[in-house]
Structure 1
Amino acid sequence: MTYPQDPYGQQQPYGQQPPYGQPYQQPGYGYGPPQPPQEQGLAIAAMVVSIASLVACSGLPSIAGVIMGHIAHSKAKRGEAGGQGMALAAIIIGYVGVAIVVLLLAFFIFIGIMTDWDFD
């Protein structure tokens, strides 16, 4: 038996073996051409906006981070872009920021109602 052989039992011609350190690829069973690096810009931007809004405790950037995160996550799931994990993290951080703003607003309204909001 000679090595390497193709799937049909025919011996490869001399000199057709892969260079040292590279795996042998059977004809028709290759890895395919290398894929170009995928764009992650939207996922990075969503993460930055979500983190910045969490630090600043402001609601509008959190909403923008959530929206951008959803768009980046859907593009990554379709294979149009990379950064699926980063987009998911941006969505979670954005929702945490929105929840903090809503809870703070509810807390201040509750305190205002309990103290009868006397502005005199």
Structure 2
Amino acid sequence: MTQAYPPEDDKGLSMRNITHLIYGLFALGLLSAGFFGIATIAAVILAYLKRGDAAGTLYAKHFDWVIKTFWWGMLWVVLSALATFIFIGWITGVIALVWVVYRIIKGWLALLSGQSPAAEY
């Protein structure tokens, strides 16, 4: 069963393209090991700005997915940084990074298949 995308007007980028842009910016920030960390922040800001426009559509769930991934990832990175004082922060930091990468890949693949990301948080 395929899911039809909601009709969109032809003004500017479509919600689908904006969602791809958000995932792409987030991935760029991660792949560059923080060098383009501003790209990740831009992705989250764009998700916050467009979340209202996408309300009630498939894309709103993707925006929420990216926003929650960012904030949970930030929490775990900060806790891991604090835990480096007791020498386990490096392990938890790597686990947090793998989790964030997993969620970005899972969300982007769900977008490509026309579905919303799973509701596991």
TM-score (norm 2): 0.43
Larger radius of gyration: 1
Q: TM-score, normalised by structure 1?
A: 0.43
Q: Which of the two has greater helix per residue?
A: 2
Structure of greater relative contact order (alpha carbons < 8 Å, 6+ residues apart):
2
